[in-house]
Structure 1
Amino acid sequence: MPTVTAARPRAAVRSWAAALAVLAVLAGGCSTGSREAPANATETAARQLLGRQAAAVLHHDKAAFLAGIDPRATAFRARQSAMFSNLADVPLAAWSYTVVRTGAFALPDAASADGTRRAAVEVRLGYRLRGYDTEPVVSTAYLTLAEHGGRWYVAADSDGAVSGHRTAVQLWDQGAVQVVRGTHSLVLGLGDRAVLRGYADDADQAVPEVTHAWGTGWPGKVVVEAPATLGQLGALLGADPAGYRDIAAVTTGELGANAAAPADRVIVNPEAFADLSAFGRQVVFTHETTHVATRLATGAGTPLWLSEGIADWVAYRDSGRTAPEIAPELTKDVAAGRVPGALPSDADFAATAARLPQAYEGGWLACRMIADQWSPATLTAFYRAVARGGSLDTRLRAAVGLSLPAFTARWRSYVEGELG
């Protein structure tokens, strides 16, 4: 959320469809993909080469890893050497490559000017963190392979960018990853270790709060990724960093009831996060951790006012702050006679939406109303029921005995009464 005031640090942008948390096709080790017969000799060579690369990463064998990088591609080789070193402390349980297809993009004409055989390969990188991921987290890479001297090498990972085939950027592509372990958290980060320890402490405090509000049935731990700059955050998300300038953190994960999906990632924007008070930081982590906890109960039909509202409800429920303190923008609107006419739409939660603060505040008040006028258990049960399908109107009738229009009217009165 694009406000970094201590009173209401809008911090959570749900990015459930992010490539970081797509379920892997393979389950671990140093496998290079499915067991289907390879389509051609080039694909066979690619699988064998990448199998050796995966094994080298898992065995911390840098010499073996660099043996698979084209010695003629000096700049790329230097970057890959740095990347390997950056991974040294990351607690990997698995690292694997799946060859999706060869001929995945058009190679530049200059790529074959020296007569070397080359292949453009789409690859899925899957990795698991020990103790946190039950399935590999997956991202896509577009690699150029080169064959000379009777041997294949990885020669580049950027040739596909010209045609829109961009290799996903990982944290270890951007610097040496430091690892900080908390009681309920694992922080992978760049930059100041004391800052990373602070993230772990905040996450450790958030986890019990979320469990108290939401219940068990989730892993009860959080993985935090902490780039050192806004630009690095944008690279991780594959997005324009300017759109995240005022957003303190985002949560990535696979939406839906898939218990075998890898752990979600809370990704911190260090620049916006640094502007928050201690209270604001805790709200951010509790909000984001709620998204982690509710992921299994969040479906494609879950409206954002509900998913973001319940995250704010958990984050603020024991804060001791008043409704006007938590919802200052809607308070101004109510004072001016502008009571919202409808629950916030999903479009209202877009990062560039003009009334984004009011959307979050309205969602929070809707969830707070259910918890206050019915019960917290009613709210969490309603949330879970929405993910099982059916219309929102049907689920509201079953949970609180109100149609969607009646619920909206009651919410409008609640907003006016709490903020007026």
Structure 2
Amino acid sequence: MAGRRRVPKHGAVVLCLLLTSLVACGGRPTATDAAEADVQHVLDLRAAAVLDRDGAAVAETGAASWFQDVSAVPLASWAYKVTGVHRTGATATADAELRYQVQGYDQAPVTVARTLDLSLDAAGRWYVKDEKPAKKAPQQLWDQGEVTVVRGRHSIVLGVGQSGERLHAFADLADDAVPAVSDAWGPAWSRHVVVLVPRSLDGMAGLLGSPASSYRGIAAVTTGETGAPAQAPADRIIVNPDAYGLLGNLGRQVVLTHETTHVATRTATTAATPLWLSEGYADWVGYRGSGRTPAEVAPELGEAVSAGRVPKALPSDADFGFGGSASALAMSYEGGWLACRLIADRWGEAKLGEFYRSVGTHRKRPGAVEEAIADVLGTDLASFTTEWRQYLRDQLA
């Protein structure tokens, strides 16, 4: 019959033999399957012990020195999912996903890749010798040392190598930032923040899984999924203590309010949202009510405008890259801030928020800003850009 071919009986035997190393023809588990199941069982016991705050029970499953580092963190969940085991005799390396939630803050688990080194004990049970971030995966704060926890009215601050006094100062800043953001953006967000304060710039880089050089001079960043659903892990505001310590009181508050704005606007920020809008809006909220003039907030752009070098277009996403000059990066942030300030001055603060949300409703970047400008502001991008350029001259020249 055309299109069909008879397979000789011996072919089935060969196929069965080939599959034996993977799943055994009779359906019996292989040594690898058994090892994965055994390791999963040990990690289930380990996770339960962590949640029970039972250091002795953690020690029964393996190395437990790190337990003290994480023990102060309020956890709603902690679980491992083994994704692979690489065994060599009495030792093994396991790949796993760690899923955990900070109680009262994470609506869904944070998922991070981990690597665990194990060995068989005298009773033939797997014993965890070491646990660390998987290759290229970011560290968790407790990977860097013992975590200290400070709670504010609207915040939880987790720090390593920081005094309680300094962590309380961050909680105070975050507690002032949350109502300030709600006043500008509205109350429809979680209205609480998680702030991570590592020991140094290198610690910040470790939490982000990137080289320290990428964040030198950056006081803080916010992690989170663009356009994240409501049921998602809370964003983390990660502080660079080296750069943060150089700021004055206003600068510190502006930075925390800026980053808190990113937390509040995350669900409305999508791939369609340009950086000039997301960063400009966060700066607008940060400086809102500060009394600072455009000349004070935008000195780099002011110098360029005074010299007759008025930007021809709104900043592109590429202009916000950390690889260029500090002056050019500052001008991009200042230009975005002044674009948002223009909308608030010319059309009103409510329209600025409506414009931000309208842009984010689009799935893709092309046409998103243009349609939102037409629908919300009643103008077009070319006219808005012309008005923005004149606004720069009026405010900065």
State the TM bucket, normalised to the shorter chain.
Answer: 0.7 to 0.9
Q: CA deviation at 1:153?
A: 2.0
Q: CA deviation at 1:387?
A: 1.1
Match of 1:136 among 99, 109, 123: 109
Rounded Cα–Cα distance in structure 1 between residues aligned with 2:390 and 2:149: 48
| Preserved CA contact (<8 Å) 1:47 1:99 | yes
Q: CA deviation at 1:157?
A: 4.0
Rounded Cα–Cα distance in structure 1 between residues aligned with 2:392 and 2:228: 32
For 1:402, the equivalent position in structure 2 comes to: 379
| Preserved CA contact (<8 Å) 2:73 2:149 | yes
SS in 2 for 1:40: helix
Q: CA deviation at 1:117?
A: 4.3
For 1:116, the equivalent position in structure 2 comes to: 90
Q: CA deviation at 1:131?
A: 1.1
Q: Considering only aligned residues, what root-mean-square deviation do their CA atoms show, in Å?
A: 1.9
Match of 1:155 among 129, 132, 136: 129
Does 2:306 match 1:347? Answer: no
Amino acid at match of 1:407: F
Does 2:35 match 1:64? Answer: no
| Preserved CA contact (<8 Å) 1:157 1:167 | no
| Preserved CA contact (<8 Å) 1:347 1:353 | no
Q: CA deviation at 1:62?
A: 1.3
For 2:143, the equivalent position in structure 1 comes to: 173
Amino acid at match of 1:89: A
Q: CA deviation at 1:275?
A: 0.8
The 4+ residue runs of structure 1 with deviation greater than 6 A are: none
Larger RCO (CA under 8 A, 6+ residues apart): 1
For 2:288, the equivalent position in structure 1 comes to: 317
Does 2:158 match 1:185? Answer: no
Q: CA deviation at 1:371?
A: 0.8
Amino acid at match of 2:188: G
For 2:249, the equivalent position in structure 1 comes to: 278
Does 2:79 match 1:96? Answer: yes
Does 2:342 match 1:369? Answer: yes
Amino acid at match of 1:86: D
For 1:40, the equivalent position in structure 2 comes to: 33
Rounded Cα–Cα distance in structure 2 between residues aligned with 1:352 and 1:166: 21
Amino acid at match of 2:144: Q
Rounded Cα–Cα distance in structure 1 between residues aligned with 2:38 and 2:324: 49
Rounded Cα–Cα distance in structure 2 between residues aligned with 1:183 and 1:153: 41
Identity of aligned residues (%): 50
For 1:27, the equivalent position in structure 2 comes to: none
| Preserved CA contact (<8 Å) 1:141 1:166 | no
Structure 1 gap ranges (5+) = 1-36, 70-76
Q: CA deviation at 1:129?
A: 1.2
- Superposed CA offset, 1:143-163 (max 9, x none): 2333354211223446x97xx
Rounded Cα–Cα distance in structure 2 between residues aligned with 1:250 and 1:414: 29
For 1:291, the equivalent position in structure 2 comes to: 262
- Superposed CA offset, 1:5-32 (max 9, x none): xxxxxxxxxxxxxxxxxxxxxxxxxxxx
For 1:388, the equivalent position in structure 2 comes to: 361
Amino acid at match of 1:57: V
Relative to the length of structure 2, the TM-score reads 0.87
Rounded Cα–Cα distance in structure 2 between residues aligned with 1:262 and 1:302: 21
Question: In the superposition, relative to structure 1, how do residues 198 and 45 fare at CA in structure 2: closer, same or farther (>3 Å)?
Answer: same
Q: CA deviation at 1:166?
A: 4.1
The count of aligned residue pairs is 360
- Superposed CA offset, 1:181-215 (max 9, x none): 11111101121111101000000111111000000
| Preserved CA contact (<8 Å) 2:136 2:209 | no
For 1:413, the equivalent position in structure 2 comes to: 390
Q: CA deviation at 1:363?
A: 0.4
| Preserved CA contact (<8 Å) 1:91 1:130 | yes
| Preserved CA contact (<8 Å) 1:305 1:343 | yes
Give the structure with higher Rg (CA): 2
- Superposed CA offset, 1:287-345 (max 9, x none): 01100100111101210000000000001121101111100000000011100011111
- Superposed CA offset, 1:158-182 (max 9, x none): 6x97xxx245311111121111111
Q: CA deviation at 1:102?
A: 3.5
Relative to the length of structure 1, the TM-score reads 0.82
SS in 1 for 2:156: strand
